[in-house]
Amino acid sequence: MTISRRTLLKVIGAAGLVTLAPAVRSEAKIGPDSFATLIDLSKCDGCEGKETPLCVSACRTGKKDLFPKVDKDQLLNYWPQKKYEDWSDKQHLIDRFTPYNWLFIQQVEVDGKKISIPRRCMHCDNPPCAKLCPFGVKHKTAEGPVYIDHSLCFGGAKCRAVCPWHVPQRQAGVGIYTLWQKYLPVAGGGVMYKCDLCRDLLAEGKTPYCMVSCPQKAMTIGRREDILNQAAQLKEDRHGHLYGMDENGGTSTIYFSPIAFDKIDKALSTNHNPKEKSKPVPLHNAENILEKQNLWTQLSLVAPIIGVAAALGLTRGETAETEDK
Amino acid sequence: MATRIRHSLTVRITHWVVALSGILLLFSGFGQLPLYKRYNLIKVPGFAWSSNYEITLVIHYLTAAVFTAAVCFHLVYHYRRCEFSILPRRGDIGNSIKGFKAMFGLGEEPYHEKFQAKQRVIYTIIGTTSLLLIVTGLIKSYKNLGAIVLDPIFLQWVAITHTVTGGIFMMLFLAHVAALLLKNHRPMIPSMITGRIDRGYAEKHHPGW
């Protein structure tokens, strides 16, 4: 069989294009019309005097249909480990992320001033939780929200490990793994839960529960471009600070604070009671695990070209002979 | 002992590069599933790092680059040299069944050339699995480059295909190694190291070569 130079060039060209096309489009960004939110910490007072902050109770009421409904018979150890994660008896907790509490208020004193910080999923632009899920059941949408498909999640909790703020939380005894765990307890640990930015409400043109309920109007949602402009303006006008613009590669949640975030973060870790089981959710300069490895990602994408080029180099003379025949 | 050349140096290097990178891909790929902490591999001395997703991801990217380059090299190299004797032909499925039966003393081996029918079929299965892993892996790598949003359901199927195909690849790899440990296949092992195979074995099992 002989190969014409033209055929060969077509094959190489096609192979090269397959590899190069993604690289060219890799600068695609989250669209300006997607949703973003701004949380103004100078306005939030943590609903002083109330047992539960209104945003927290609104979230818990509004999203309760999505909370896990545990079959106690399915609460089995993660074999061969002798433990499982069950929050069903701790649904009342409102001071941390749990499968039943997707938003909480962190409070800390900095320079004699009490600061209240609503914490929930940041809905990152390049979310490692979604992109590293081995079964792709955590989704980043073009509209902005990052959400979990509860019907397909195995609860491996990798998303929690790669999230700089460890937002997603696991509940055992629910989800697809309950189909087999009694017979073959080798994979799965439940389902992961976290804020989905009320994507169902957004699709209907409504506002997320937490934002509607805030008496201080500390949280706003809108077009990404508008929110980013608003945040930049706020920073300039009030000589404040922003968090969430670049952290973890950029997010759809921007915090504004008159006090520097590194100061707040330091206070969060200093004031933390080490006897408490839950660790404070930081406000640090979070690095994105995916962005750190961009060089290796690019190398894997150009690998086909390297292989093809090596083969062409090694067989150059042979083709000439074949074509000369 | 009389021998003859079965595999060139290039073929052997490509084979071992694919094999070694494949093993590392399997190890780092399973590391991307949350397995090593749950199954206590991290307690084995020297493997405490194995549940660190960042480390296993770097290993996965690097070995994926080597594996992908080697597979692409293999395809273009043999295409350019017009070497297609390992590609499946009509009747290979039937002859493979006969060949497998013969492995266990049930009937005679069919007439073979350089590659047996079952070797051609297995090559096709492993090759297709590898290509599926490469294509889905490239899509997964691409979407990790930055704030890139692809259709979530498309990505879900890509991820599931990649993960499930990775499991199939591991089983094929184990079957490949297990088959070589069978007594009547063992003489093939030296040919993947030195390139030469026992002439008597070749005449018996590959008479048409």
Residues within 8 A of B (CB atoms), A 292-311 only: 292-294, 296-304, 306-308, 310-311
Nearest CA in chain A to B83: A1
Size of interface A-B (CB pairs under 8 A): 175
Chain A residues in contact with B155 (beta carbon < 8 A): 136, 139
Please, what sign has the CA dihedral across residues B138, B140, B143, B144? negative
| Segment B4-43, tens digit of pLDDT | 888 899 999 999 999 999 999 999 999 999 899 999 999 9
DSSP for chain B, written as a single string: --EEE-S-HHHHHHHHHHHHHHHHHHHHHHHHTTTTTTTTGGGSTT-GGGG-HHHHHHHHHHHHHHHHHHHHHHHHHHHHTT--TTS--TTHHHHHHHHHHHHTTSSPPPP-SSS-HHHHHHHHHHHHHHHHHHHHHHHHHHHTTTT----HHHHHHHHHHHHHHHHHHHHHHHHHHHHHHSGGGGGGGGGGTTSEEEHHHHHHH-TT-
Q: What angle do CA A145, A196, A156 make, to 5 degrees?
A: 105
> Is the pLDDT confidence value at A18 over 60?
no
Q: Which of B13, B61, B74, B162 to mutate to test the interface with A (most CBs of A within 10 A)?
A: B61
Q: Inter-chain contact B82–A322, Cβ cutoff 8 Å?
A: yes
Lowest-confidence segment of A85-94, A155-164, A267-276 by average pLDDT: A267-276
Residues within 8 A of A (CB atoms), B 154-193 only: 155-160, 163
pLDDT of residue A32: 84
**pLDDT class for A20, splitting at 50, 70, 90?**
very low
Other CB atoms closer than 10 Å to residue B8's CB: what's the count?
12
pLDDT of residue A62: 97
Q: How far is CA A102 from CA A71, A120, A197, A273, B89, in A?
A: 21, 6, 10, 22, 58
Average pLDDT over residues A276-284: 84
Count of structural domains, chain B: 1
Provide the domain limits for residue B35: 3-205
In chain B, what percentage of residues exceed pLDDT 70?
100
Give chain B's mean pLDDT: 91
Lowest-confidence segment of A143-152, A281-290, B108-117 by average pLDDT: B108-117
- B/e letters for A39-50, b = 16+ CB within 10 Å, e = fewer, are bbbeebbbbeee
- Tokens representing A220 are 């706003």
Is the CB of residue A197 less than 8 Å away from at least one CB of chain B?
no
Please, what are the domains in chain A? Answer: 34-289 (3.30.70.20), 295-325 (no CATH)
> Is the pLDDT confidence value at A279 over 90?
no
pLDDT of residue A6: 54
- Tokens representing B34 are 């949350």
Lowest-confidence segment of A17-26, A118-127, B46-55 by average pLDDT: A17-26
Q: Which of A245, A300, A314, A319 to mutate to test the interface with B (most CBs of B within 10 A)?
A: A300
Q: Which of A83, A150, A297, A314 to mutate to test the interface with B (most CBs of B within 10 A)?
A: A297
Give chain A's mean pLDDT: 89
> Is the pLDDT confidence value at A8 over 70?
no
pLDDT of residue A274: 66
pLDDT of residue B110: 77
pLDDT of residue A319: 56
Distance CA A115, CA A110 (A): 7
Residues within 8 A of B (CB atoms), A 199-238 only: none
Calculate how close chain A gets to B108, using CA atoms only, in Å.
33
> Is the pLDDT confidence value at A69 over 50?
yes
Q: Inter-chain contact A80–B84, Cβ cutoff 8 Å?
A: no
Calculate how close chain A gets to B105, using CA atoms only, in Å.
36
> Is the pLDDT confidence value at A302 over 70?
yes
pLDDT of residue A14: 52
Lowest-confidence segment of A11-15, A98-102, A170-174, A231-235 by average pLDDT: A11-15
pLDDT of residue B9: 94
pLDDT of residue A325: 38
**pLDDT class for A275, splitting at 50, 70, 90?**
low
In chain B, what percentage of residues exceed pLDDT 90?
65
Q: What is the CATH number of the domain that holds B96?
A: 1.20.950.20
Distance CA A220, CA A242 (A): 15
Calculate how close chain A gets to B8, using CA atoms only, in Å.
13
Average pLDDT over residues A13-24: 47
